[in-house]
């Protein structure tokens, strides 16, 4: 039983879902959403208020301006894309508080949450 409690506690410490992220954003909680995909994918569609920060560009110098006391939620397209995992790992290695958005942009939309594009809100 203790192993199960530890497993699920660890999982919730490192992952979040669309519902919890949307609630945190709606309630003004201190969370920054990072889109770890390419700038081109971000322009096509992204979570409102998200910042595009491709995982390949995350390093000590490029993250210097980020607040280490803030929680960062990282996402990508979803199943079949591991940019959020790579981005979350990069940030964790650099000492940031980070969670990965389960299901990425795909599950965000399936849960009925809005997205934006460079052209107009959706």
pLDDT at residue 5 in the model: 96
Share of the chain above pLDDT 70, in %: 97
Q: What structural domains does the chain harbor?
A: 2-110 (3.40.250.10)
Distances (CA, A) of 109 to 11, 21, 34, 69, 83: 22, 13, 16, 28, 18
What are the residue ranges of helices labelled H in 1-117? 2-14, 18-26, 39-44, 83-93, 104-110
- The pLDDT confidence band at residue 55, using thresholds 50, 70 and 90, is very high
CA angle 87, 54, 93 (to 5 degrees): 30
Q: In angstroms, rounded to a whole number, what is the distance separating the alpha carbons of residues 118 and 23?
A: 24
pTM of the full structure: 0.92
Q: In angstroms, rounded to a whole number, what is the distance separating the alpha carbons of residues 63 and 56?
A: 12
Per-residue pLDDT of 10-42, as tens digits, reads 999 999 999 999 999 999 999 999 999 999 999
């Amino acid at each position: 039983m203790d192993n199960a409690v530890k497993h699920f506690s660890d999982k919730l410490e490192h992952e979040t879902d669309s519902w919890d992220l949307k609630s945190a954003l709606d309630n003004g909680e201190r969370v920054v959403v990072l889109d770890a995909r390419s700038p081109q994918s971000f322009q096509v569609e992204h979570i409102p208020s998200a910042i595009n920060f491709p995982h390949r560009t995350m390093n000590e110098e490029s993250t210097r301006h980020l607040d280490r006391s803030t929680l960062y939620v990282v996402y990508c397209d979803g199943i079949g894309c591991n940019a959020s995992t790579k981005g979350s790992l990069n940030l964790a290695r650099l000492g940031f508080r980070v969670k990965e958005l389960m299901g990425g942009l795909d599950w965000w939309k399936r849960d009925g949450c809005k997205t934006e594009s460079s052209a107009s809100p959706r």
